[in-house]
Amino acid sequence: MPPFYPDRQTTDLFSFALVDATHRDGLQPSWTQVVIAPTFLKDDTDRCPTLVDLTSMGNGERAQWCDALHRETLNREEARSSMLLASRAPITAVAQHLAQRLVLRMPETGQRMQWRFFDPGTLLQMPRILGPGGMSWLMGPVSSVAVPWAGEWTCLQQPEAARPHHFYMDDHHLAALLRVGVINRVLAQGSPPMDATDWVEQSAAIDTFVRQGQDQHGLVTQADLIAYALHAHTVHPAIHTHPRMRAVLQTLQSASPEDELNYQELTCTLEPDEWRHMAAELEHPNRQEAPTS
């Protein structure tokens, strides 16, 4: 399959561009565009993305805009568009569907929150989290999206055999979606991914660490989960089994709320050499110090 390139022919198919609020100032009034805004926000739409019809641009404008988008993608810069969308539906119908998907309702409180599924690094994790039925529910009238991330374009297709009307966003899905914010922050502190596939694989591995921190060690706050998953991701996957870390985690589990202890505070004073030493001990648990004469 040839590399994706947003030229005239390609953007006749992928004719809609989702532009985040931070890049809305660069949009020309003459271009057909619709703000993607959940109804509960009412007039507070300053932080909402916009859907732009690329075919409403002049030929020269479209070529210049898409060439710049492609360069930003290859250079791993913040791209002016979060994704390009292919759909036969009119722009208003696509925008309305996406606005509905921007909302998550918390099961315990009923509170509505805005869900930034369109962030490229987040969107690439959705097939793993939502599955085919969930992706069909998410994409709706969109047949395909092209995502600029990690130095390349990745195309996600509408699952053919999925049944979106039978998809139910359960507590398992919601918990997984809420973990994505932690995962993204951990990945942002590590080495850049080789490509989009590497990003997706790393995100799945980090998700395991985040769930481990929650389920096995009772970590709750985002800061603690980020710190815990970052140590597992960058120091050693089994760092929690080292005696020093077991002591830290036991201290946290034994503490009362009045103690105001947290994982981040108890580990932030450890020096890089100490982390490396713990990782080495986990890799070679039976290694003995050489005897001195």
To the question of pTM greater than 0.85 for the whole model, the response is: yes
Q: Within 10 Å of residue 54's Cβ, how many Cβ atoms?
A: 24
Per-residue pLDDT of the chain (293 residues; tens, 9 = 90+): 578 999 999 999 999 999 999 999 999 999 999 999 988 878 888 889 999 999 999 999 999 999 999 999 999 999 999 999 999 999 999 999 999 999 988 777 778 888 999 999 999 999 999 999 999 999 999 999 999 999 999 999 999 866 666 788 888 999 999 999 999 999 999 899 999 999 999 999 999 999 999 999 999 999 999 999 999 999 999 999 999 999 999 999 999 888 899 999 999 999 999 999 999 999 988 764 444 44
- By CB atoms closer than 10 A (0-12, 13-18, 19+), residue 85 is buried
- By CB atoms closer than 10 A (0-12, 13-18, 19+), residue 155 is middle
Which residue reads 């732009």 in tokens? 52
Considering only CA atoms, which of 223, 266, 226 is closest in space to residue 246? Answer: 266
What is the per-residue pLDDT for 293? 40
- By CB atoms closer than 10 A (0-12, 13-18, 19+), residue 269 is exposed
Question: CA 39 to CA 153: how far, in whole Å?
Answer: 31
Question: CA 111 to CA 132: how far, in whole Å?
Answer: 27
What is the per-residue pLDDT for 3? 86
DSSP 192-242: PPSSHHHHHHHHHHHHHHHHHHHHTT---SHHHHHHHHHHHHHT-TTGGGS
At residue 147, φ and ψ (nearest 5 deg) are -110, 120
Domain residue limits, the chain:
8-167, 173-283
What is the per-residue pLDDT for 163? 61
Considering only CA atoms, which of 186, 169, 175 is closest in space to residue 215? Answer: 175
Question: CA 235 to CA 242: how far, in whole Å?
Answer: 11
What is the per-residue pLDDT for 164? 61
Which residue reads 């055999």 in tokens? 161
Question: CA 196 to CA 181: how far, in whole Å?
Answer: 17
Q: How far is CA 137 from CA 144, 168, 200, in A?
A: 13, 9, 20
- By CB atoms closer than 10 A (0-12, 13-18, 19+), residue 55 is middle
